[in-house]
Chains A and B, each alone.
Chain A
Amino acid sequence: MISQILLLVVLGLGAVGWFVGRARAKGLFTGRHSLAAVPSYHGWHLALWALIPALLVWAVWSGIAPGLVREAVLADPAAASLPAFDMERDAILAEAQALASDPGAAVFNAKAAPLASVFQAAQTRIWLAGAALTLLTLFAGAAWGYSRVSAAFPARTRVERAALIGLLVASLVAILTTAGIVASLLYETGLFFSYVSPIDFLTGTHWAPRVGVDAELGKDFGAVPLFWGTLYIGAVIAMLVAIPLGLMSAVFLTQYASPTLRKWLKPMLEILAGIPTVVYGYFAALTVAPQVRDFAAWMGMANPSTESALAAGMVMGVMIIPFVSSMADDSIAAVPQAMRDGSLAMGATKSETIKRVLLPAALPGIVAGVMLAISRAIGETMIVVMAAGAAARLSANPFDSMTTVTFQIVQLLTGDQEFDSAKTLSAFALGLVLFMVTLALNVVALRVVKRYREAYE
């Protein structure tokens, strides 16, 4: 509550600072060329000086305040009876905190109740102190900014420098995100490998993750069946659906369809890419999977399972069609017109030109597109979670239930678990493998596309 009000007050004061700075600069105006910067830049300069230090102080205070509150509560005589340094004390403190913010909260530990009021008092005190400090910084910054307003002061260059720094920081967020992904995955994977050796993990064929710390643990964390299931569903079944349909759609749209037809068909095809994956997953589980099961039963299979690799892979393939189609579209369009004209002039029919000239010439681009499509398919989560099943098995039968890397990540991390067991940590190891593989596919594919474009330009 305090923070919302404070934020509004700080922003309001910043706006006031803008007007004050501008008004003061206007007061200095005596004629053409009497000011080094337009008055509104003086306003910005003052507002930035008021806002940035104050917001920084508040951010830092928000970071350390919970610790300070805790210290204050522990220093209170009412906390003297708490057991020293253990889980129970933390639990009591957490309950007291919940009670302080919401008097109706359920309490399991009798010792928490008397602490609630202490907690509340300490919280109010510390947060008010932080608010006061923030406002003090704001006024100090504003005073400094105000003192800088003068006719010769180059306010515009200063403000623009600040703006450039802001732009730079924004573009660094991308690097920070990548670094954050790599660092967090590597860190948790490192913890996992302290329980299970990487060799067991990458080459074992038995997957039955469990909690525990014994020598046999590594035997139950063999991820090969997961990699197999992922590739079988994402790179085989899905591609068997997506490549022919996507490629032929692209050929039809670029070579045969009239511009009007293309204008209508292409956006309709793109709708397939815009449908959320959870909808595909539901459709796969509700409609496609039972039909696949019935088909398997009709083929004479005994007890076909409802969840099958085929159902998940087929629906995933349909999802990827527009992606393959637009990649193929681009690479066919990049083939020089002269090659097509040459072939047609020799008397080849349109389809012969496409099969013998266009597609071979566009092949590198199409292959790159397929690689990108595979990277997308193996990272796809919801369809396999809802339709592929949980059984980790090495099987080539598409009617079998199969599990994938993404399914297991979801399985391992939903529900309440301890975050330091090999079982939950293995999800991060799987995540790291997935990240590396998709990254490699993307980097190679983009390089192929780039080289191929250069070859024709």
Chain B
Amino acid sequence: MNSLWQEDRMKRRLASRHAAERRFRLFGLGAIALSLAFLAYLLFTMLRSGLGGLDWAFLTGSDSTEASVAGIWGAAKGSILTMGVTLALSFPLGVLAAVYLEEFAPKGQRWVEWVEVSINNLAAVPSIIFGLLGLAVFINTLHLPRSSPLVGGMTLALMTMPVIVISGRNALKAVPPSIRNAALAVGASPVQATFHHVLPLALPGILTGTIIGMARALGETAPLLMIGMRAFVSTPPGGITDPSSVMPMQIFLWSDEIDQAFVQNTSAAIIVLLVLLLAMNGLAIYLRNKFETRW
């Protein structure tokens, strides 16, 4: 009995379909391999041209017109101060806003919807727009010191806050209602139930979101360019109102130098920045895995 499946025509057809299947699969693997190859190429380029410049003098020095004595510490300190301001503003505001929207906001009110819509949109607004806001409001209207970590931190805080609110709401949402109900049942007020029971359980999730938001802010350049954080700092800034630079900005400024010797500095600074970002993201993943509760 000669079945349809044994015919040559059918065999050829099946073979071509299976070949198409393999091609498609290979195509998918190729896409992801190409993306990762690009990443590897980028990292390799930076390591090759930057690793030689990465020594103690580079890590502790400040900017200089001389490539061989220029270091990253001045910009790193600017970054630390800026991130401090950002964290001090965006973390409390973000957490409190998330708690309000998730636990207390009257449902279905027009203005609550406006808050939600504006938070979701702010998370997608290009970062340079926040720079324009910082320039128009903090510098031209409030006359705060230009180029300072204070203004930079405030601008980045506005950018980071929506990220913290969104992750905070998700973390609060993940806490099961039984926790809330149990607290309310033994006589806690809604505020007590939230602050004594729900919020502590949601905190690891909120922290993860905060670290990711801060990592984004640490790598941000465009908004800081708008508010003039491109000062030439040969000594590390002493406080949050001193003119300063930040690490991504230092990379940008060095990349503009004509002197070829700065290529090494730029790449070395990129390595430092990437290591910091990787460490922050690693910490976020660690926190999530360690404290994540499956209810």
Interface on A for B, CB 8 Å cutoff?
Answer: 156, 160, 163-164, 166-168, 170-175, 177-178, 180-181, 184-185, 187-188, 244-249, 251-253, 255-256, 265, 267-269, 271-272, 274-283, 285-287, 318, 321-322, 349-352, 354-355, 372, 375-376, 378-382, 385-386, 406, 409-410, 413-414, 419, 427-428, 431, 434-435, 438-439, 442-443, 446
Bound complex: CA of A363 vs CA of B243, how far in Å?
A: 49
- Asked if A252 and B25 make an inter-chain contact with CB atoms under 8 angstroms apart, the answer reads yes
Name 8 extra pairs, CB < 8 A, besides A185-B129, A245-B31, A282-B255: A245-B32, A268-B39, A283-B45, A318-B35, A379-B127, A410-B225, A414-B226, A414-B228
Query: Contacts A248-B28, A282-B255, A410-B225 given: A427-B104 contact, CB under 8 Å?
Result: no
- Minimum CB–CB distance for B184 against chain A, Å: 14
Bound complex: CA of A414 vs CA of B127, how far in Å?
A: 16
Q: Report the 6 A-B pairs with minimum CB-CB distance, sorted nearest first.
A: A379-B126, A276-B219, A252-B28, A248-B31, A170-B96, A351-B24
With both beta carbons as reference points, the residue of chain B lying nearest to A441 in the complex is identified as: B124
Residues 43-80 of B, flagged 1 when their CB comes within 8 A of A and 0 if not, give 00110000000000000000000000000000000000
- Asked if B125 and A175 make an inter-chain contact with CB atoms under 8 angstroms apart, the answer reads no
Bound complex: CA of A187 vs CA of B137, how far in Å?
A: 11
- Asked if A379 and B221 make an inter-chain contact with CB atoms under 8 angstroms apart, the answer reads no
With both beta carbons as reference points, the residue of chain A lying nearest to B250 in the complex is identified as: A278
Query: Contacts A379-B126, A386-B252 given: A276-B28 contact, CB under 8 Å?
Result: no
Bound complex: CA of A377 vs CA of B270, how far in Å?
A: 22
Segment with Cβ contacts to A, from B14-22, B175-183, B286-294: B14-22
Interface set, chain B 252-295, CB cutoff 8 A to A? 252, 255, 263, 266, 270, 273-274, 277-278, 281, 285
- Asked if B115 and A174 make an inter-chain contact with CB atoms under 8 angstroms apart, the answer reads yes
- Minimum CB–CB distance for A353 against chain B, Å: 10
Q: Could you say which residues of chain B place their CB within 8 Å of the CB of A267? A: 285
Interface set, chain B 86-141, CB cutoff 8 A to A? 92-94, 96-97, 99-101, 104-105, 111, 114-115, 118-122, 124-130, 132-133, 135-137, 140
Residue of A170, A184, A274, A442 with highest tally of chain B CB at under 10 A: A170
Bound complex: CA of A255 vs CA of B21, how far in Å?
A: 12
- Minimum CB–CB distance for A260 against chain B, Å: 15
Q: Could you say which residues of chain B place their CB within 8 Å of the CB of A282? A: 251-252, 255, 266, 270
- Asked if B252 and A413 make an inter-chain contact with CB atoms under 8 angstroms apart, the answer reads no
Candidates A256, A271, A413; contact of B135 at CB < 8 Å: A413
Query: Contacts A253-B32, A439-B121 given: A173-B222 contact, CB under 8 Å?
Result: no
Residue of A171, A382, A442 with highest tally of chain B CB at under 10 A: A171
- Asked if A177 and B140 make an inter-chain contact with CB atoms under 8 angstroms apart, the answer reads no
- Asked if A279 and B270 make an inter-chain contact with CB atoms under 8 angstroms apart, the answer reads yes
- Minimum CB–CB distance for A114 against chain B, Å: 25
- Asked if A277 and B219 make an inter-chain contact with CB atoms under 8 angstroms apart, the answer reads yes
- Asked if A381 and B255 make an inter-chain contact with CB atoms under 8 angstroms apart, the answer reads no
Q: Could you say which residues of chain B place their CB within 8 Å of the CB of A271? A: 39
Q: Could you say which residues of chain A place their CB within 8 Å of the CB of B96? A: 166-167, 170-171
- Asked if B129 and A379 make an inter-chain contact with CB atoms under 8 angstroms apart, the answer reads yes
- Asked if A279 and B273 make an inter-chain contact with CB atoms under 8 angstroms apart, the answer reads yes
Candidates A245, A350, A446; contact of B120 at CB < 8 Å: A446
Interface set, chain B 1-49, CB cutoff 8 A to A? 17-18, 20-21, 23-25, 27-32, 34-36, 38-39, 41-42, 45-46
Q: Could you say which residues of chain B place their CB within 8 Å of the CB of A446? A: 120
- Asked if B126 and A380 make an inter-chain contact with CB atoms under 8 angstroms apart, the answer reads yes
B161 within 8 A of A: yes
Bound complex: CA of A163 vs CA of B192, how far in Å?
A: 11
Query: Contacts A244-B31, A285-B255 given: A381-B132 contact, CB under 8 Å?
Result: no
Candidates A166, A180, A375, A385; contact of B133 at CB < 8 Å: A180
Q: Could you say which residues of chain A place their CB within 8 Å of the CB of B201? A: none
Bound complex: CA of A427 vs CA of B140, how far in Å?
A: 15
Residue of B24, B32, B36 with highest tally of chain A CB at under 10 A: B32
With both beta carbons as reference points, the residue of chain A lying nearest to B254 in the complex is identified as: A282
- Asked if B127 and A275 make an inter-chain contact with CB atoms under 8 angstroms apart, the answer reads no
Candidates A175, A255, A275; contact of B42 at CB < 8 Å: A275
Candidates B122, B191, B228; contact of A163 at CB < 8 Å: B191
